[in-house]
Amino acid sequence: MRSSAIVLALLLLACPGIVRGQDPLESMRKTKEYRAAYKEGRAEADRELRDQRPTLYTAGLRESFFNNLDRETGLPYSGFGCVIDNEEMGTIEGHNDRIRESIKAHGIPKGSFKPWEKELFGLRAYVESRRKHEKPESLTIDGPARKAPDGSCTVRIGTKQGDTLGGGIMKYHRLEIRAEGLQPEGVAVFAPAGDTFELFWGPKGSHFAVLVRTHSGTELLEAVDLRRGGSLRTEPDSIRAWSSGGSPSKRPGGR
């Protein structure tokens, strides 16, 4: 795992002007706001580890907007945005230091997606292998929810609406993930007219699923987190195919 210092250095390059001074990192670490937040960040990490939902806190620009998963640890990223203050910096460092200490002492924590690295970083091969012996779940916009095989959650594509900057109303679609006793989480879904949706549940105990959106015969493959909500990663070749109309993600036979 990258050290906090490396992450912070990249943050400063990505978001210049966040902090001032000859040694901005050390200056931030000396403030009372940072020290208090550092302790709270460690406490947040302990709660995540206890609940088996560990993450890595990040800030600034990552390498890709379409990858929200650290391959080395199998932990999803939880972002703080670009412009952060002393308190947020303390929270990030305290949290990640505690996660790193736990991994060093006990290994990859429960709740990590590391055991399914092959599937998550090879979504195309995973989906095609599943298609050989089973049919995926079919999803329709505002249609019925589908329940996970282990009964842990349901998913459906719903329609939401919100205000636009111009004062109008905008409708959008969301993959809604609902688990008992928890607030519903969701993943934004780009859904042009005529698109179709399939869902492949991940392996037993993996707590992820793969959403396949098909537009004019070209597929976009995205792994979603069924416990925390949110996107884990989108297959790079399917992103390129969607944006260029190319063939890397065409289904066999052009279907």
What is the model's pLDDT at position 90? 93
What is the model's pLDDT at position 192? 64
Which tops the pLDDT comparison, 236 or 40? 40
pLDDT at 252 over 60: no
What is the model's pLDDT at position 200? 96
Instruction: Give residue 77's identity as a one-letter amino acid code.
Output: Y
d(CA 185, CA 55): 16
d(CA 11, CA 61): 7
Q: Which two tokens stand for residue 100?
A: 């790193």
Q: What is the mean pLDDT of residues 128-147?
A: 93
Whole-number percent of the chain with pLDDT over 90: 49
**Structure confidence by residue, pLDDT tens digits, 94-103:** 999 999 999 9
Q: What is the pTM of this model?
A: 0.78
**Structure confidence by residue, pLDDT tens digits, 165-181:** 677 776 778 888 888 66
d(CA 202, CA 195): 22
Give the burial string for 15-51 (b: 16+ CB within 10 Å, else e): beebbeeeeebeebbeeeebeebbeebbebbeebbee
What is the model's pLDDT at position 163? 66
Q: What is the mean pLDDT of residues 32-52?
A: 96
d(CA 88, CA 83): 9
d(CA 214, CA 27): 50
List Cβ<8 Å contacts ≥24 apart for 29-33.
29/90, 29/93, 31/86, 33/85, 33/86, 33/87, 33/90
d(CA 11, CA 96): 15
Whole-number percent of the chain with pLDDT over 70: 75
pLDDT at 56 over 60: yes
What is the model's pLDDT at position 105? 97
Contact call for residues 250 and 227 (beta carbons, < 8 A)? no
Give the model's confidence band at 61: pLDDT under 50 very low, under 70 low, under 90 confident, else very high. low
